[in-house]
Structure 1
């Protein structure tokens, strides 16, 4: 089963995303800020991370930077899911494999996750044991 990590400080968001993604056959682990997510990512070795932007303790932007600066994680696909209109600066966009606006239609999110998980399995070490 493919493992994903969902990071958001709003429990309703993590519950909804877990329901949608879990219903599609993914194993979901949740964190409520970037710092929790980093620890969870190292333990679970997910195939993909979906993160909010604005969170206490460590933001989604800081989380993405930490992932990209870690040799063992840098190829891990990261989706930014934010309600902000322009959540990141142009030069920060490469930190994310995709940026979607909340609320993201479930079909679109599932399609995006499938594409990115397939890509990571085919050409990088993301999600590898």
Structure 2
């Protein structure tokens, strides 16, 4: 079972994503900001990360840069979910494997996760 880390300060969005991914057979761990996300990343070693952009303490861009600075996670797929900053994420393909604008289509997100996490079974 693959683990997915969701980093988002909006609990409702994190819960909706989490429930949908658990229904698909993934284990889900969550963090409410980038700093906490780094702690969970080191502890849980997820197969993929979904992050929001606008968060307190450490935003999604700072979080993605911190993840990429860790050699063990240099190629970890990071999906960005953003309400207004999607263009910033799209301008940083070295950080984000995919960018979804909020509101997002949950089935499109799940399909993209499958491509990254379960490529043989997709």
TM-score, structure 1 as length reference? 0.87
For structure 2, the residue ranges without an aligned partner over 5 or more in a row are: none
Instruction: Provide the residue aligned with 2:84 in structure 1.
Output: 84
Aligned CA RMSD, in angstroms, stands at 1.6
Instruction: Provide the residue aligned with 1:52 in structure 2.
Output: 52
- C-alpha deviation, 1:89, in angstroms: 6.2
3-state SS of 1:50 partner? strand
Larger RCO: Structure 1 or Structure 2 (Cα < 8 Å, ≥ 6 residues apart)? 1
Aligned-partner Cα distance in 1 for 2:51–2:74: 15
Residues 72-111 of structure 1: pairs in structure 2 closer than 5 A:
72-84=72-84, 86-88=86-88, 91-111=91-111
For structure 1, the residue ranges without an aligned partner over 5 or more in a row are: 122-129
TM-score, structure 2 as length reference? 0.91
Instruction: Kindly tell me the number of residue pairs found equivalent between the two proteins.
Output: 120
Instruction: Provide the residue aligned with 1:24 in structure 2.
Output: 24
- The Cα offsets for residues 71-103 of structure 1, whole Å up to 9 and x where unpaired, read as 111111000011115441664232100001112
- C-alpha deviation, 1:111, in angstroms: 0.4
3-state SS of 2:79 partner? strand
